[in-house]
Amino acid sequence: MKHIRKTLVAATAATAIVLSGCSAPADDSTPYEVNFAYLNIGGAPTQELKDAVNELAMDELGMTVNLIPISFSDYFTKLPLMLASGDPLDITFVFSQDFPTFINSQYIVNANDYADQTKDIYGLFGEDAGVGQIGDFLVGFPTVKELSSPTGLVVRKDIFDELGYSVDDFDITAEDTSGYDKITELFADVKAAHPEMTPYDGTFSMGMQVFSYIDPLGDSGYGALEDKGQTTKVTNWFESDQYREFAEINREWFTKGYTSQDVAVNQDEGQVKMKAGNTFSFMTFTKPDSAPEKASQTGYEVEIIPLSGYGPKSTSGSTAGLLSVANNAKDKDKAFEFLNWAYTSGEFNDLLNWGVEGVDWVETEDGVAGYPEGKDPASVGYHNGAGFILPNQFAGHVWSGSPANLGDQYAAANEEAKASKAYGFLFDGTSVSGELAQLNAVYEQYKKQISFGVLDPDKGLKEFNDAMYAAGLQTVIDEKQRQLDEWLDAK
């Protein structure tokens, strides 16, 4: 008797513990919820923001929205898991390097089948709407942003002016690198005047800015079209004179102490270093409104010295991030309907960009958006400010400091950028996936050391290129050339 009771108690206790892990099933008489994953740069959405977005979506579409912010690094770790495990996900952004694998793994839906639901998007982009087409599969739609990526050196305006420089003193283009001597002079002056900070720091230098100088054909440039994509011969950019020059210029900066000596192990972006007052300048991709953007990110007014001119319009550049509907979406028609609406709704884009009107931003008399009374970058609840991640940042308001016609300026810049000869070509790397994996590992090892001049270019470049060829670079180059030639013939 006694031990039967003991048994029962033990069994009940054990089962209760196991079942406590289970939860109640969901109720499905609620309106369709769109799970919207977006690239998160600004910060987590506040509860007010989530409520405002839900209210707006309910009013206009009869749907609710579950915002899923995903940081840049989460994209590589969290998103593949979500797609593979069937987590609730309707809309996500996809980077171009993943198109072949996502299509093969059937993570995303072919947007060609939903052309009816996405008429407004086609109206917005015209023929550029089809830029994400691989074979007969349309991966998704680009966001409204700059399509070419020039590189610039962002410098602190106060020190720049103090030392008597002006942006017009500098004349550097992708073809002519003699102008870099002036920058070396500038760094020398900064180091003398301000020994407590490094003149140059950050996570990017010229050699890593692949979108400005070449068409990388879908990855970090393992076989690329040099001269801003104005050739159809696939070559190894890392062996070119241009790359060597960049390495040598950076080597000079590093050995003279203008570049932070810890730059190779630094994980903090240039903006972060500038905000902390530790660096005078850093390099980045620029666009028409970079100056106010960097000012709001760092808290210092900045000047931008252009270094490369417009990059080529390349497939990788324009399709760098496309908005796609995931296969996990329960109702794909509704998901595409939402996506279509997201491109046209100024209010939705304003919400995600600047936050809740009245709380995080207000409309000023110039018709642009600005901080409300008493709020500034530190105290505002939500402020994203990375418009390129939104479907259509110009459907909403432009931020104060930028001209109100910024959208037109972007359009003009996109017109000016020359299209690469391979614009529209998407490389399918599945047959060389082993080599690509090995090349990634080698590139990770050398990219910062060479681009920032930590390694002596005479030895370092040879080591780097030998390692790349050992990892199968020639195979990838040949495969890219073969696919490119096929695509060109078919055109």
Partner 1 sequence: MKRRSTTRLRSFLPVYILLIPGMLYLLVNNYIPMVGIISAFKRINVNDGIFFSPWNGLENFRYLFLSGAAGDIFRNTLLYNTAFIVVTTVVAIALAVLINDVASTKLKKLYQSAILLPFTLSMVVVSYVVFGFLSHENGLLNNTLLESDPIQWYSEGQYWPAILIIVNLWKTVGYSTLLFLAALVGVDRSLYEASSLDGANRWQQVLTIDLPNLFPTIVTLTLLAVGRIFYSDFGLFYQVPRNSGAIFDVTTTIDTYVYRALISAGGIGQSAAAGFFQAVIGFVLVLSVNAAVRKYQRSSALF
Query: What residue ranges bind partner 1 (CB under 8 A)?
Result: 3, 6-7, 10-11, 13-15, 17-18, 76, 79-80, 83-84, 97-98, 100-102, 104-107, 198, 260-262, 264-265, 267, 327, 433-438, 440-442, 444-449, 454-455, 467, 470-471
- Residue 8 corresponds to which tokens in the numbers above? 């029962």
In sequence order, what are the residues at sequence separation of 6 or more whose Cβ sits closer than 8 angstroms to the Cβ of residue 421? 215, 225, 229, 230, 231, 232
Give how far Cα 401 sits from Cα of 157, 302, 350, 368, 405, Å: 15, 13, 16, 9, 12
Query: What are the helix (H) ranges across 266-401?
Result: 270-275, 290-298, 315-318, 332-344, 346-354
Cβ proximity to partner 1, 395 vs 454, nearer residue: 454
Cβ proximity to partner 1, 412 vs 437, nearer residue: 437
Cβ proximity to partner 1, 6 vs 462, nearer residue: 6
**Smallest distance from the beta carbon of 96 to partner 1, in angstroms?**
10
Cβ proximity to partner 1, 220 vs 483, nearer residue: 220
Check if the beta carbon of residue 399 is closer than 8 Å to that of residue 295: no
**Smallest distance from the beta carbon of 219 to partner 1, in angstroms?**
8
Check if the beta carbon of residue 242 is closer than 8 Å to that of residue 451: no
In sequence order, what are the residues at sequence separation of 6 or more whose Cβ sits closer than 8 angstroms to the Cβ of residue 46? 355, 356, 381, 382
**Smallest distance from the beta carbon of 50 to partner 1, in angstroms?**
28
**Smallest distance from the beta carbon of 238 to partner 1, in angstroms?**
14
The rounded distance, in Å, linking the Cα atoms of 228 and 308 is 10
Cβ proximity to partner 1, 101 vs 400, nearer residue: 101
Token pair 């400091």 is found at: 401
The rounded distance, in Å, linking the Cα atoms of 342 and 389 is 12
Check if the beta carbon of residue 145 is closer than 8 Å to that of residue 276: no
Cβ proximity to partner 1, 383 vs 447, nearer residue: 447
**Smallest distance from the beta carbon of 84 to partner 1, in angstroms?**
6
Give how far Cα 460 sits from Cα of 25, 217, 251, Å: 59, 25, 11
Cβ proximity to partner 1, 8 vs 167, nearer residue: 8
**Smallest distance from the beta carbon of 268 to partner 1, in angstroms?**
11
Check if the beta carbon of residue 143 is closer than 8 Å to that of residue 323: yes
**Smallest distance from the beta carbon of 427 to partner 1, in angstroms?**
13
Among the listed residues 335, 1, 10, 291, the one whose alpha carbon sits nearest the alpha carbon of residue 152: 291
Query: How many CB atoms within 10 Å of residue 353?
Result: 24
**Smallest distance from the beta carbon of 324 to partner 1, in angstroms?**
13
Note the Cα 426 to chain centre separation in Å.
18
Check if the beta carbon of residue 422 is closer than 8 Å to that of residue 315: yes
Check if the beta carbon of residue 179 is closer than 8 Å to that of residue 172: yes
- Report the largest interatomic distance among the alpha carbons of the chain, rounded to a whole angstrom: 97
**Smallest distance from the beta carbon of 206 to partner 1, in angstroms?**
17
**Smallest distance from the beta carbon of 79 to partner 1, in angstroms?**
7
Check if the beta carbon of residue 421 is closer than 8 Å to that of residue 230: yes
In sequence order, what are the residues at sequence separation of 6 or more whose Cβ sits closer than 8 angstroms to the Cβ of residue 153? 183, 281, 282, 283, 304, 305, 307
Cβ proximity to partner 1, 18 vs 26, nearer residue: 18
**Smallest distance from the beta carbon of 18 to partner 1, in angstroms?**
4
Cβ proximity to partner 1, 265 vs 490, nearer residue: 265
Cβ proximity to partner 1, 364 vs 445, nearer residue: 445
Cβ proximity to partner 1, 91 vs 103, nearer residue: 103
